[in-house]
Structure 1
Amino acid sequence: MTDVTIKIKQRTATKMKKGYPLIEQAALVNRDLLSTSKEGIILRLVDEAGSFIGKGYYGKQNKGVGWMLTRTEHEAIDTAFFSRLFQAAFQKRLALLQSESTTAFRLFNGEGDGIGGLTIDYYDGFYVCTWYSEGIYTFRNEVYKALESIVSFKGVYEKKRFSTKGTYVEDDDFVMGERGEFPLLVKENEITFAIYLNDGPMVGVFLDQREVRRRIHDEYAKGKTVLNTFSYTGAFSVAAALGRAEKTTSVDLANRSLAKTIEQFSVNGVDYESQDIVVMDVFNYFKYAKKKEKSFDLVILDPPSFARSKKRTFSAEKNYTDLLQEAISITNKDGVIVASTNCSTFGMDKFHSFIGEAFKREKGKYEILEEYTLPEDFRTTKAFREGNYLKVVFIKKHN
């Protein structure tokens, strides 16, 4: 297939020469060339003077139309190319691959490891490839051949996070090897999690919060009453309970969160009946807690970037301050709020402004105890700050 030469506007070209990997639609001078092209074609990128920048692929994802893959003009994008990048990435995770206390983590993190639009997660011998555009998915055969050539695995599953609506593509997720028996029990810092690789886009635990769960378990939970909002399958609650919290309360709107949270407590030997698991809209729970004069020593806020229910739409960028204000009102004096967001449209400075505004509204004083971004296995590149999307701040409420 013949490469298509795409001209990049000078300002973005300068950025890309310094390592910026996203091919932005607004930066294309001759974008009309892509109107008749299929996703997956190789793009030869040049600046407005015709100087070579790099080669990438055409694949629509969020604000981009593809990702740069190499700055070497004649490098082939083939099985050997993927093998080299996988080997380099896996070598960087060698300590995790050899760990007995953690058997679930990210092995390959998209543009941070050199291939935007593709991630590979590891679950105790099983590999899960997640594809974020039709463009990168056209390299499926080369990627799986590369994977087979450098690692032995129990089985491989895949998740397709693309469609005309930008949603998950429902399909049989199994690719090769042996099918797993689910739930598959994996470890994270000695905590056990039940996961399902064959049940939609989310497997049961968000791997990017590993260090935050560790801190809650080790330093913040003992003897505390804990509220875990947007609790999903209760992973933070499990970490807190095993960290000897006095009691945990898990709140999530999804009906399935009840059974999933019971399962996570059970596989860790925690009596789920001694914990509270509530299926309710989080904002409604705040109202309920105020009415019943409930308050907590530790409140965990980890909402989705965007969520819509029948009665409410939540956007982290627009509504996080309101959410935090509600949390402050039911946090005990000297209690701690773990404020977290995975929204990539704003940075840590803006997140701090949300925190400041929420406490100002509540006429309260606070102290920042510690902060976290993505853990080391979620590698990012300084040239693409949007890739380091996770922001977690531990906040102590003083009055």
Structure 2
Amino acid sequence: METLRVKPEFLADIKRGYSLIHKDAVTNRHYLETEGELFEVVDQFNRFLGKAYYGIQNKGIGWILSTHEEEAIDQEFFNKKIAYALKQRDSFFNDSNTTAFRVFNGEGDGIGGLSIDYFDGYFMISWYSKGIYQFRDQIIASLDILTNYKAIYEKKRFDEQGTYVDQDDFVKGTPGVFPIIIRENGMKFAVDLNDGAMTGIFLDQRDVRKAIYDTYGKDTNTLNTFSYTGAFSVAAVLGGARETTSVDLAKRSLAKTIEQFSVNGIDYEAQDIKVMDVFNYFKFAQKHDMKFDLVVLDPPSFARSKKLTFSTAKDYPMLLEEAISVTAKNGIIVASTNNASFGMKKFKTFIDKAFKDTNTKYKIVETFGLPKDFKVNRDFPEFNYLKVCFIQKLK
């Protein structure tokens, strides 16, 4: 096992439990050859810090798995990590009203680069580097030992071009007949675990959908932008919205949104579903002086259309200005981003800039991060990537 020395400026975070090894954190990275190989990290005095695996993921070259020098990274290690994570989700497994949730959340549960989601009897494993994928057999064996399941599916999210690897996602068990219908706080959603990178629902937005369902959707005319499969629109309708408009550029969003409405017994023909560029829709709404009581903004971190390249880190204030122009007085804007490159404090500066630039007063009435099944290390908020603000437009 190779030994890599951590530079002094990175020591404090690692000693506090920061498990990602930054590419600039070690002095002798060239010793590593094959993703998946284990190595030890030490300080400048050769004092042991942890055992890690080599796996290239974004700005990191690996993750610390254990800070105990005598602990072996073997089948028992993976069994213990996954067993503890499953135990912490007992309340979810025992809730018949919510049958889809995250059972293992990467570094928050002790193994960076790995996530495992549960969909009513089906597990979906996501691998975020070639390195963690080398432990595939042990991790699947842990699920065999610790759980009963219908089937296991997987997503490889580590190809060199940064795009999803086309594959058959079925691993073992009895293949599902998709879509399956999962429940979430009483709502129903159609899910397909063997249809490319997406499943049909983003589980990290569960609390936000619940807030719309419980409180913010009632008696509203709702605009759901970057709507994907229309899950926020479903929450709004079931929460008492008068009408919804779902807008997404992807052609498949039409059929997927119709499907989500239909499994909830909603007449999709009574809802407006637009397959078009969101910014073009804003222009259309402004031209016709349309106003919405609830506007949902949940854009991808980066998107490109024929006329526009959009980045949340750069363009979110501009997106908010468009939303402000079509939001009714006292209406609510749900501003959301999953961009991990900035935190909630920075995100709120985007909000403040947009409202000041449009000479509009506002109040942030509620904020959300990741739900509790998406376990994160509280000392390092960058891992709590989800930032959602419910903003009331005052005047």
Q: Do they fold alike, i.e. is TM over 0.5?
A: yes
* Partner residue, 1:97: 93
Distance 1:6 1:167 in 2: 30
SS at match of 2:200: coil
- In percent, how many aligned pairs have the same letter? 57
Superposed, which structure 2 residues align to 1:239-388 within 5 Å? 239-388=235-384
1:208 aligns with 2:204: yes
* Partner residue, 1:135: 131
Cα deviation 1:299-352 (Å, max 9, x = unaligned): 000001111122211100000000000000110000000000000000111111
SS at match of 1:358: helix
Cα deviation 1:349-390 (Å, max 9, x = unaligned): 111101110001110000110100000000000233211000
SS at match of 1:212: helix
Tell me how many residue pairs correspond in the alignment: 395
Distance 2:184 2:386 in 1: 19
* Partner residue, 1:24: 22
* Partner residue, 2:34: 38
Distance 1:179 1:222 in 2: 39
Q: Give 1:105 deviation, angstroms.
A: 0.5
Unaligned runs of 5+ in 2: none
Q: Give 1:192 deviation, angstroms.
A: 0.4
* Partner residue, 2:177: 181
Could you tell me which of 155, 162, 165 is aligned with 1:166?
A: 162
Superposed, which structure 2 residues align to 1:229-240 within 5 Å? 229-240=225-236
Cα deviation 1:21-48 (Å, max 9, x = unaligned): 10001111112212xx100000100111
Q: Please say if residues 21 and 384 of structure 1, whose CA atoms lie closer than 8 Å, have aligned partners that are also in contact.
A: no
SS at match of 2:206: helix
Cα deviation 1:78-130 (Å, max 9, x = unaligned): 11111101111111110100111000000000000000000000000000000
SS at match of 1:333: strand
Q: Which amino acid in 1 is paired with 2:333?
A: I
* Partner residue, 1:117: 113
Q: Which amino acid in 2 is paired with 1:396?
A: Q
Cα deviation 1:53-74 (Å, max 9, x = unaligned): 0001000000000100000112
SS at match of 1:27: coil
Q: Give 1:268 deviation, angstroms.
A: 0.3
Q: Give 1:293 deviation, angstroms.
A: 1.3
SS at match of 1:85: helix
Distance 1:255 1:38 in 2: 40
Provide TM-score, normalisation by structure 1: 0.98
* Partner residue, 1:108: 104
Cα deviation 1:243-262 (Å, max 9, x = unaligned): 11010000000000000000
1:53 aligns with 2:57: no
Q: Please say if residues 109 and 119 of structure 1, whose CA atoms lie closer than 8 Å, have aligned partners that are also in contact.
A: yes
Distance 1:170 1:83 in 2: 29
Unaligned runs of 5+ in 1: none
* Partner residue, 1:8: 6
Q: Which amino acid in 2 is paired with 1:394?
A: F
Cα deviation 1:144-187 (Å, max 9, x = unaligned): 11110010100000000011112221111000111001001000
* Partner residue, 1:222: 218
Distance 1:393 1:20 in 2: 27
Q: CA RMSD in A?
A: 0.7
Distance 2:206 2:165 in 1: 27
Distance 1:208 1:127 in 2: 16
Could you tell me which of 365, 386, 389 is aligned with 1:393?
A: 389
